[in-house]
């Protein structure tokens, strides 16, 4: 997945061999998910499907099918504010496997890439077969696959009998039980500073147990256009452009990391007004928007149930 993972266990004393065995199991699981959904690995299921011809059913693993069904449901419910078929557009901007472009693409190239995308051009059968209407359609599951991976680490830990743990892949976090102090897990959300660096101050912290949190922001992966606009890796599927609003970051708390991951991206695209209305229809989900203000600071807009830490 191209991102580091973290696992923390509480109340368990593992020998070196037991720790190494658990680590190997976690890494084997993540490698399997990569073999299914990576857009970097040429022989992954996703990459093979991307090369397949239109109209040809392509059998995928049950896990891949599960993620695709969630992604298509989210695309439909958001009326296209989320779209798993933006691979060509993401690559054109330099945020996919073809990276470091750092320039605005030509209008004609962007139009051509947009013509090869569109979630309505993708279908999945009850037998886990994917079919696309456009041969050049390219899947990119970056906005849901890491969340699914974090969930899978959690499922593995639970299956091994662990009850108090923290699991994360990059910014996708899942927790269970309590932390080493015997209280709820405390997860920080970065402040969207102009020149963000790892270890910068937190904007807010949340307290969680048996939940997941994901944050999408424009302050880590971006480049500046000649006119000074910040152009980040979060694209609006409806325009093909990096999202252009005052949102700097969105954090979503949900029962699982895949849901939190996909919703964080969707809400970033929708913005606070439409986003708060949209997320209200989701059960057991809370959201926080960090909005840039004209004075260079940011303000917080949250759903009433967003679980801020009290300490």
For position 306, what pLDDT does the model report? 92
CA distance 274 to 164: 36
CA distances from 246 to 96, 269, 276, 296, 299 (A): 24, 11, 15, 11, 10
For position 311, what pLDDT does the model report? 52
For position 168, what pLDDT does the model report? 95
pTM of the model: 0.94
Cβ atoms of residues 217 and 250 within 8 Å: yes
For position 157, what pLDDT does the model report? 97
CA distance 180 to 202: 21
> Which DSSP string do the residues of the chain spell out, in sequence order?
--S-EEEEESS----HHHHHHHHHHHHHHHHHHHHHH-SSSTTSHHHHHHHSPTT--EE--HHHHHHHHHHHHHHHHTTTSS-TTBHHHHHHHTBSSSB---SPPPHHHHHHHHTT--GGGEEE-TTSEEEESSTT-B---TTTHHHHHHHHHHHHHHHTT--SEEEEETTEEEEES--TTSS-EEEEEE---TT--TTPPEEEEEEESSEEEEEEESSSSEEE-TTS-EEES-B-TTTSSBP-SSEEEEEEEESSHHHHHHHHHHHHHHHHHHHHHHHTTSTT-EEEEEEE-TTS-EEEEE-TT--B---
For position 274, what pLDDT does the model report? 96
For position 13, what pLDDT does the model report? 82
For position 194, what pLDDT does the model report? 66
For position 310, what pLDDT does the model report? 57
Q: Does domain 169-302 have CATH number 3.10.520.10?
A: yes
Cβ atoms of residues 284 and 254 within 8 Å: yes
Cβ atoms of residues 122 and 56 within 8 Å: no
CATH top class, domain 45-132:
mainly alpha
| Nearest alpha carbon to residue 211 among 272, 157, 268, 167 | 167
For position 103, what pLDDT does the model report? 81
Each domain of the chain, given as residue ranges in start order, spans 45-132, 169-302
Per-residue pLDDT tens digits of the chain, which is 311 residues long? 567 899 999 987 888 999 999 999 999 999 999 999 999 999 999 999 999 999 999 999 999 999 999 999 999 999 999 999 999 999 998 888 666 566 888 999 999 999 999 999 999 999 999 999 999 999 999 999 999 999 999 999 999 999 999 999 988 999 999 999 999 999 988 877 666 566 667 788 999 999 999 999 886 777 777 777 878 889 999 999 999 888 999 999 999 999 999 999 999 999 999 999 999 999 899 999 999 888 878 899 999 999 876 55
For position 144, what pLDDT does the model report? 96
For 240, how many CA atoms within 13 A lie in the half-sphere containing its CB? 21
């Amino acid at each position: 997945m191209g991102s580091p993972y973290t696992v923390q266990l509480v109340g368990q004393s593992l020998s070196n061999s037991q720790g190494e065995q658990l680590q190997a199991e976690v890494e084997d699981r993540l490698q399997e998910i990569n073999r299914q959904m990576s857009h970097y690995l040429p022989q992954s299921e996703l990459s093979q499907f991307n090369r397949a011809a239109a109209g040809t059913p392509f059998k995928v693993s049950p896990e891949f099918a599960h993620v695709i069904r969630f992604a298509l449901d989210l695309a439909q419910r958001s009326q296209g504010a989320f779209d798993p078929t933006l691979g060509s557009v993401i690559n054109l901007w330099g945020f996919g496997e073809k990276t470091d472009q750092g320039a605005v693409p030509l209008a004609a190239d962007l139009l051509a890439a947009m013509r090869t995308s569109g979630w309505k051009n993708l279908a999945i059968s009850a037998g886990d077969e994917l079919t696309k209407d456009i041969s050049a359609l390219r899947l990119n599951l970056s906005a849901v696959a890491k969340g699914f991976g974090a969930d899978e680490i959690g499922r593995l830990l639970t299956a091994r009998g662990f009850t108090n743990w923290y699991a994360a892949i990059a910014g996708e976090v899942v927790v269970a039980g309590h932390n080493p102090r015997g209280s709820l897990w405390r997860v920080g959300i970065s402040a969207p500073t102009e020149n963000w660096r790892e270890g910068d101050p937190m904007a807010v912290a949340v307290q969680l147990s048996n939940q997941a949190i994901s944050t999408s922001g424009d302050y880590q992966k971006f480049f500046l256009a000649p006119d000074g606009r910040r152009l980040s890796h979060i694209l609006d599927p409806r325009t093909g452009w990096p999202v252009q609003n005052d949102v700097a970051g969105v954090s979503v708390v949900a029962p699982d990391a895949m849901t939190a991951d996909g919703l964080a991206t969707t809400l970033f695209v929708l913005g606070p007004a439409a986003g708060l209305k949209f997320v209200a229809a989701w059960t057991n989900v809370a959201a926080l928007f960090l909005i840039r203000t004209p004075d260079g600071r940011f303000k917080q807009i949250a759903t009433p149930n967003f679980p801020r830490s009290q300490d």
